[in-house]
Amino acid sequence: MENVEKRIIVLGKNYEETYGCEAVHHIQKRIKSKASIEGKLIRKNVEVSPENARDTLRDIAGIRVICYDTNVIYEIAESLKRQDDMEFIREKDYIARPKANGYRSYHLIVAVPFYLLETKEYYPVEIQFRTMAMDMWASLEHRSCYKKSEQEKKRWQEQFREYAALLDQMERDITRA
């Protein structure tokens, strides 16, 4: 995972040198706990094993890249997809097509090589790109809605959709300025 983080840092610095503006605000990393991995495999009706976790789950390792604007997100994501020693698995562009609740982010799943003594294995890493506004929205929405009753979720859903639209407009205005 540090390998992917270093690539993102290098791309961010290259963006700054090329365009003369800051690219990456900060990067967060996490690895799912053993209990969380096992729980997810059980919910998917898959036997719990390290091999099944690697082959079935795409979000065991995760990196969240908080950028200054969406131009940076797309530029760095495209650069990562062109790197020939990682395998591109999937992308979901919730910036271009937000979720119904207003969630916006760009998800990229890549398989990263891990070199062993006599072989090489690929492990998936999920990279989530967000702007600072998208990250703030997601954090507040998660705190207000995650693991809450359906009634509580519905109470907040329309409000968060409106907040997402306002933040999106604010970011567009700032980027144009």
- The whole-angstrom separation of Cα 118 and Cα 115 is 8
DSSP 126: E
Q: Is 126 a known active-site residue?
A: yes
What is the H or E stretch that residue 162 is in?
A: helix 150-176
Provide the 3-class DSSP secondary structure of residue 25: strand
- On whether the CB atoms of residues 128 and 19 are closer than 8 A, the answer is no
Assigned token pair, 92: 């979901």
Q: How is the chain split among helix, strand and coil, in percent rounded to 5?
A: 50, 25, 25
- Beta strand segments in 87-177, E: 87-93, 106-115, 120-131
DSSP 20: S
User: Which candidate in 126, 141, 150, 171 is catalytic?
Assistant: 126
Q: Which of 8, 142, 140 is nearest to 73 (CA)?
A: 8
Q: Which residues are catalytic?
A: 126
